[in-house]
Structure 1
Amino acid sequence: MFVPTRPAMVNLLIVESPGKIKTLKKILGAGWEILPSVGHICQLAQDGPEKLGFDMTGSTITCRYVPNGSRGKRIITTLKAATQKAERIYLAPDPDREGEAIAWHLARELKLTPERALRVTYTQITDQAVRAALAHPRRIDQALVEAQRARQVLDRLVGWRTSPLAWRVGGKSAGRVQSAALHLVCQREQAIQVFVPQDYWSVWVDYGPPEQQFRAYYRGSVAGQEVEEEQTADDDAQESQKIPESTRVLSQAEADRLVTVAQAEAHRVLEVRRQTTRKSPPPPFTTSSLQQAASAQLRLNPERTMQIAQKLYEGVDVGDGPTGLITYMRTDSITLAPEFVAAARAYLTEHDPQNLPTQTTRHRSKEHSQEAHEAIRPTHIDLVPQAIRSSLDNEQYRLYDLIWRRALASQCAPARLDKTRILTQSGPVFWEARGMTVAFAGYTRYWPNLEEVLVLPGVQERQPLILERAGHDQKQTQPPPRYTEAKLVQTLERLGIGRPSTFAPTVATLKERGYVELTGKALTATPLGLQVDQVLEQTLPELIQADFTAAMETALDEIAAAQRSWEHWLIDWNQSYLVPALLKANRNPSLLVANRLPGKQKNLGHARERCPTCQQPLTKVPSKKVRKGYFLKCVHCPQVVLFWSDFKKVWQTPSTEQAAPATATPPKTQPPATRKATPAPPPPSPEQNVPVAGPHLSAHPCPVCKELKLEVYSYRKGGQLKSMLRCSDARARTREDHCGVAYFPSRGVWWSKEFGELV
């Protein structure tokens, strides 16, 4: 008698990114199925009042979550089927609040009990770290989930209710963190615009003969006067050293007089001061300091830096299979794991014993840092950048080299510097020269961040000096510099605006919205950005202030530590501040109309349709992204926005089935999702995809159809010949579930945003 055997059960590991799967399969081997969630599988719905997707009733917030579009539905179906065959289910999204929320959504959608939803976290994808995490699973941390839900609801609430204020002057959106960041850029731009330069003179003298030549700068007419050196923390965004100058002289007549005195009077050495100082090594990288250093040294913007770091974290094939090269790259901690510290000291003992400090180097954590993970570091100090250079592309190599050198430097001995100060005198005038030499390089062998070396001659006190030249340079005071992307990230971190995971997206959003633009490496506020900032400053002044936004971040930290109720805090803030402020703004629309950018919006007049709330005529707002070329909105009721439906032939609000945007931006230009028919495409322009050859089948199956093959489709875009893989069924390509089936060549492989690398 045949008895069917039960299929062998496997362990299921669910991760965020498909890019991690190859590395994890190599670590875990047989008996494991590893599937990706591809980020969030759920999002807040777009239903209910103002399409917020949640209700605030009494002291409770009820959130309505829906699958994240067709991709989310497809992934949930796949994961549900996998859970039926799994003996144990491990949820391994990234180790942060957002990852904890993803794990919570996975458990919720897959209907896993708390005992079956095993949460594991690791900050490096190595054999030891992954196996240690799997050996000690835990339950989902509900406090972290609530903190992330609070952030999501807060950002939706602020973004969707305040964005209509930005619309009225031609803006696209407003937001809790992006508007505070924009205000910093606009404040700097306004300071530059009102700055009045002032002339001043730097006066100097050159001494000789050649073997004792050095330059000294005017330091006043009071004996013993000394200008202290400015002591600054290690600044990863700094790109140039300070140019030496004299005490500022504010008139040419005075500068000429000082030169005359220098030429007429004898010069002698008044004082020589020599001292040896120690310069401590910088701490290892956090998210912010990595973005700053990559910008200053590698010319990478924060967004690109994080993309490369993500790849290094997920794993790169360095000869014996994929290996995670760095630890998790979203962190504000400067702490290093004890095993790495021991490995770094062992490396120095073998390769650079003079640079090994007698005691382990420790760094002081910054105030308000969460310290949830360790700092960004290489997973193995023995993976020297030069040894694996052939396995990395140029950007990956340069960023990994930066991380490796910084981590090792943080554990080295301090540098020893010999500093010299020579004070000279000519009549009643005093002059000063400063020099510096390196007595012991220490950590600077790996992370050179010293000021320029300047060797001064060996002179003695009361020694007469020979004047060769005396002169002055006319200069002007300079306005405060515009923020670079790195400097803005540094400022956001210092002021407590946002968290490591939000720095790069915030800067990218400001550029995408057209609020700031890059002029060289500097961020310049555009006229639109200045107008949006002005409107928000007049209507919601607290919301764009750094201390107010930082206080909100502190409240979110307290929620994550289970010290505060997220619902009570959010409802109280909404009722006590946001609602009254918006009511005041909406009752005075003339305040906003007065600030409209001239020529920014074409006046299309009023439509015949009336607002369903206040019955006032709706205004036509131009938009190239919608069918009719404009949509309708009410200037009195900012939440009322209507789009034309080709299917129903009526003006209507956006469909609740439409996917929500990734950021908290109101759907003001999204076409309604009720459109069924696909309009005929217009004739292709030179910039559109123009096919150049008939498609042919590849050997790869479609990830949705399974049986049908992907076809290689060649086209010409922007004068260049390009190729992509797509489903070979023309009818299937028009269906919603196929919208993500598009693979493009990336570093020698076919890659899809939704399905990852094609194996």
Structure 2
Amino acid sequence: MSRLLIVESPGKIKKLRSILGSGWQVRASVGHIRQLANTGTGNLGFEAKNGQITCSYEPRDDRAKKTIADLKTAAKQADEIFIASDPDREGEVIGWHIAQVLGIKKPKRVVYQEITERAVQQAIAHPKSLDMDLVEAGRCRDCLDKLVGYRGSPLIWRLNNGAKSVGRVQSATLHLICQREREIQVFVPQDYWSVFVEYSEGFKAFYHGSMTGNEPDETTIEDAGSEAKTEESTRVTSQAAADALVEIAQAHPHHILSIEGKITPKKPPAPFTTSALQQAAGSRLKFSPEQTMQVAQKLYETGLITYMRTDSVILSPDYCAAAKKWLEQNDADNVPKKVAKQKGGKQTQEGHEAIRPTDIFKPSAELKQFLPEEQFKLYVLIWTRALASQCKPAQIRKTIVISQSGEVQWKAKGNLVEFKGYSKYWKDIKADTELPTLQPQQSLTLAQADSQQKQTQPPARYSEPKLVQLMEKKGIGRPSTYAPTIKTIKARGYVDLIKGKLQPTQIGMEVDQFMGGALPELLEAEFTAQMESSLDAIAQGNQEWQNYLIDWNRSYFAPALAKALKELPEPTGNYGGKVLQKSRTKCPGCSHPMSKVPSKKVKKKYFLKCENGCTADNGRGLVMFWSDRDKNWQVPQAKSDQPTPPAELTDYPCPACQQKMEIYSYHKDGQTKQMLRCSDPKARSDKKHKNAVYFQSKGRWWSPKYGELE
């Protein structure tokens, strides 16, 4: 009996074959095999009639066509077919497409969270049917995204700045970055002073206020910066006020006013979700979200970790038992009486697990031998985080000391880790000040009193991990979309990654500003998050997807689009009535983006033209053509004023007709070059002579068809 298992990634095939053994074929769809066709009204690939949506699908590309043909051949040879696309909403849609192209009416859906023998064999022994609620949510997402992209993108082409597209998640994410940039641009720094005292007893305290309530020029300036702040005093707004406080500190004796100390437990962190993994790998390993997911995919495919696209913090009972056993054997003091309960998001998918190692006992020294460095580093990160979640809380002794001189109070803080607990594995508690042993009303000896002038800082630009965190917090996108969205806005030229921070380009700022006037709702995080919630409702079977899509277009998108088109100025620069799309290549004359002019006469199907009146050396409009040889855009070289020398007859026979060949001189790329061709002009025009030429190369004659001429 022949069985066929269809997965998404080719990287899983080797591992799965070793698990399944003989009698099984394992084939990969290589992700999505179909997409909405570029047909119908507006090339959307779907039509809405009488409250029903009809979708037309086509292979994604030539590779997908071949994959479909190969899957059909394999399916004909199989007695039983199982579909094991990834265990998420996107995987469910891919599974549906596979079933559709293979004509499987009741596909056997196999779902496993890890590629281990136990998990895979158990999943195959208990196949399910496709979850049509998840499929419909995925199909609705595809239609929504294409509707927004295909109908919204032509609006920004009017900018003539090279902007290419807008998107449902893409535009809202770009808006977060541009919004932060505008906050930075309008930020006005303010001077302030941090006042402090140092005691001979061995600690430092900062100005905390006055007992009279008449604090000299104190401020409640809010530092908009999001980065970690160093300890400092209650802020003082003038040098004079700071000097007055220093004088008070120097003129009056100091003593302890109060000591407050308590031990506070710090709960272990939850195991990794997709978002948390991308954030941690970004901050600790300097991986981009895209790189993190690529490396995690490799670890999943080799059976080392569970599925890496998840919003769940749940761990399987088997793993929890294994983690407890590991701790009992290696760190018995860290075994909790009760494991800390972790809270997941509102829309966490049931049946999913957090990201964890599949075998906690697998020796790291063994893994380090065969895993690439980046895979090993990410695996260790996942291993330590998952184990830490099963440990005891850390115990932190927090101490606050208030001292007094005259009517002025000074504050010192200290944190000591009394018991490391989970932080033995997941180090997230920063080393802090250890305060000496002090007693209430104890006199103190002043060693120094001083102030430091500072400035408030603008809000920091987002790093990629911070942006992922913000997207998750605001409900923009879902775990599978964070990395692709950030990759898209970088590829579009809307943002640049500069010194680890995302900074919008001029094009990105222009697109965001334009969209704010044309379709402002699409930039609002709340609006995008509500759309995601509606898609979640469809996935849970609480909303019908066709009604939602039709109603969303009719009640919001179509009217908003019509209003935007009506209010926007007429586009400038067109070709045959069409708005010309801008290229990222800038005109060598004026440095403005050049327009793409469609042309069937050139291999690239378009050439570039400057629409700002720049001219070439020949006095005509400046244009550029693509050079396959040099892999860049070039201005055509003006023809030489020197006459082309007459052809020189040789004794070499033409390989096509045996007549004598001639040396023909011609100009290319500003240089004079030579070639051998048949001397008979009439003969040169027939098909036999198409490749009957020799080019001069390193002092010899050479032909692509006939080789070197003897």
TM range (shorter): 0.7 to 0.9
Name the structure 1 match of 2:211: 222
Q: 1:345 to 1:685 in 2, by over 3 A?
A: same
Q: Which residue of 1 is the match for residue 492 of structure 2?
A: 513
Secondary structure of the residue that 1:157 maps to in structure 2? helix
SS across alignment from 2:79: strand
Deviations 1:112-149 (A, max 9, x none): 121xx100111100001101100110111111100000
- After superposition, the C-alpha distances for 1:294-345 in whole angstroms (9 at most, x for unaligned) are 1100011000000000000000xxxxxxxx1000000011110110001000
Equivalent residues of 1:385, 1:404 under 8 A apart: no
Q: Could you list the runs of 5+ residues in structure 2 that have no partner in the other structure?
A: 215-224, 586-593, 607-624, 634-710
Are 1:57 and 2:49 matched, yes or no?
yes
Q: Kindly provide the CA deviation profile for residues 190-247 of structure 1, in whole angstroms up to 9, marking residues without a partner as x.
A: 0000001111110000000xxx21000000003799xxxxxxxxxxxx9975311111
Report the counterpart of residue 180 of structure 1 in structure 2.
172
Which of 578, 581, 591 is matched with 1:618 structurally?
A: 578
Tell me if 1:493 matches 2:472.
Answer: yes
> Given the two structures, how large is their TM-score scaled by the length of structure 2?
0.81
Aligned to 2:153: 163
State the distance in 2 between where 1:435 and 1:223 align: 26
The structure-2 alpha-carbon separation of the partners of 1:371 and 1:224, relative to structure 1 and needing over 3 Å to count, comes to farther
Alignment partner of 1:310 is 2:297: yes
The 2-side partners of 1:259 and 1:649 are apart by 73
Indicate which of 236, 245, 249 corresponds to 2:236: 249
> Which residue, 360, 365, 369 being the options, matches 1:381?
360
| Deviation, structure 1 residue 624 | 7.8
Q: Deviations over 1:463-484 (max 9, x none)?
A: 1100000001101111111111
* Aligned length, in residue pairs: 596
- Are 1:153 and 2:143 matched, yes or no? yes
Instruction: Determine if contact 1:331/1:372 at 8 Å carries over to the other structure.
Output: no
Matched residue type, 1:337: S
Give the alignment of 1:203-352 within 5 angstroms: 203-208=195-200, 212-222=201-211, 241-315=228-302, 324-352=303-331
Alignment of 1:114-133 (within 5 A): 114=106, 117-133=107-123
Q: Contact 2:157/2:581 (CA < 8 Å) preserved in 1?
A: no
Tell me by how many angstroms 1:414 deviates. 0.5
Q: CA deviation at 1:586?
A: 1.1
* Counterparts in 2 of 1:503 and 1:622: CA distance versus 1, 3 Å: closer
- Judge conservation of contact 2:340–2:390 (CA < 8 Å) in 1: yes
Matched, 1:137 2:105: no
Q: Is the 8 A contact 1:624 1:630 kept in 2?
A: no
Does residue 502 of structure 2 align to residue 523 of structure 1? Answer: yes
**Aligned residue identity for 2:307:** Y
What displacement does 1:55 show?
Answer: 0.7
SS of 1:220's partner is strand
Q: Is the 8 A contact 1:241 1:451 kept in 2?
A: no
Q: Distance in 2 between matches of 1:342 and 1:552?
A: 39
Q: Could you report, residue by residue, the CA deviation over 1:414-434 in whole angstroms, capped at 9, with x for unpaired residues?
A: 001111111100000000100
The answer to whether the 8 Å contact 1:631/1:644 transfers is no
Deviates more, 1:463-472 or 1:77-86: 77-86
1:654 counterpart residue number? none
How far apart are the structure 2 equivalents of 1:574 and 1:293? 38
Which residue type is aligned with residue 684 of structure 1?
R
What is the rounded CA distance, in whole Å, between the counterparts of 2:631 and 2:183 in structure 1? 44
Residue in 2 aligned with 1:467? 446
Partner SS, residue 468 of structure 1: strand
Separation of aligned partners in 1, 2:115 and 2:306: 7
Q: How does 1:711-726 map to 2 (within 5 A)?
A: none
- Percent identity between matched residues is 51
How far apart, in 1, do the equivalents of 2:628 and 2:497 lie?
34
SS at match of 1:362: coil
CA distance in 2, matches of 1:385, 1:531: 50
1:556 aligns with 535
Amino acid at match of 1:268: H
Deviation of residue 560 (structure 1)? 0.4
Paired AA for residue 451 in structure 1: K
User: For the residues of structure 1 that align with 2:54 and 2:631, how far apart are their CA atoms?
Assistant: 49
How far did residue 73 of structure 1 move? 1.8
Q: In structure 2, the residue corresponding to 1:336 is in which secondary structure?
A: coil
Q: 2: distance between equivalents of 1:392 and 1:472?
A: 53
State whether residues 134 and 538 of structure 2, in contact with CA within 8 Å, keep that contact through their aligned partners in structure 1: yes
Question: Unaligned 5+ residue runs, structure 1?
Answer: 1-8, 226-237, 316-323, 594-602, 610-616, 633-642, 652-679, 689-759
How has the CA–CA distance of structure 1 residues 368 and 681 changed in structure 2, closer, same or farther, with 3 Å as cutoff? closer
Given candidates 545, 565, 570, the residue that maps to 1:566 is 545
Aligned-partner Cα distance in 1 for 2:155–2:452: 50
Shift of the 259–15 alpha-carbon distance from structure 1 to 2, 3 Å rule, reads: same
Deviations, residues 73-123 of structure 1 (Å, cap 9, x unaligned): 211121112112212100000011111111111111111121xx1001111
What secondary structure is seen at the aligned counterpart in 2 of 1:481?
coil
* Distance in 2 of aligned mates of 1:568 and 1:443: 49
Instruction: Verify the 8 A CA contact 1:262 1:426 in the aligned structure 2.
Output: yes
Shift in alpha-carbon separation, 1:260–1:159, aligned structure 2, 3 A: same
Deviations 1:693-734 (A, max 9, x none): xxxxxxxxxxxxxxxxxxxxxxxxxxxxxxxxxxxxxxxxxx
Structure 2: how far apart are the matches of 1:492 and 1:464? 52
Deviation for aligned residue 1:647: 10
Q: Does 1:577 align with 2:556?
A: yes
Instruction: State the distance in 2 between where 1:561 and 1:554 align.
Output: 10
Q: For the residues of structure 1 that align with 2:227 and 2:602, how far apart are their CA atoms?
A: 60
- Specify the code of the residue in structure 1 equivalent to 2:10: P
Corresponding letter in the other structure for 1:183? H
SS of 1:86's equivalent?
A: coil
Q: Output the CA distance in 2 between the equivalents of 1:16 and 1:649.
A: 33
Question: Contact 2:53–2:546 (CA<8 Å) still a contact in 1?
Answer: yes
Q: 1:406 aligns with which of 385, 389, 393?
A: 385
**In angstroms, what is the RMSD of aligned CA positions?**
2.4
How much has 1:371 moved relative to structure 2? 4.2
Over 3 Å counting, the alpha-carbon distance change for 1:223 and 1:312 in structure 2 is farther
Partner deviation per Cα, 1:177-197 (whole Å, 9 max, x = no partner):
000000100110000000011
Query: Map of 1:587-666 to 2, 5 A cutoff?
Result: 587-590=566-569, 605-607=573-575, 609=576, 617-623=577-583, 631=596, 643-646=598-601
Residue identity in the other structure for 1:216? A
Cα distance in 2 between the residues matched to 1:223 and 1:423: 16
CA distance in 2, matches of 1:682, 1:182: 34
Q: Using the TM superposition, give the Cα deviation of residue 684 of structure 1 relative to its aligned residue in structure 2, in angstroms.
A: 2.7
Measure, in 1, the Cα distance between the counterparts of 2:227 and 2:362. 31
Shift in Å, 1:376? 0.4
The answer on whether the counterparts of 1:214 and 1:457 sit within 8 Å (CA) in structure 2 is yes
- Once residues 391 and 453 of structure 1 are traced to their aligned partners in structure 2, the CA distance between those partners, rounded to angstroms, is 39
Partners of 2:363 and 2:432 in 1: how far apart? 29
Q: Once structures 1 and 2 are overlaid, which stretch shifts more, 257-266 or 512-521?
A: 512-521
Verify the 8 A CA contact 2:172 2:525 in the aligned structure 1: yes
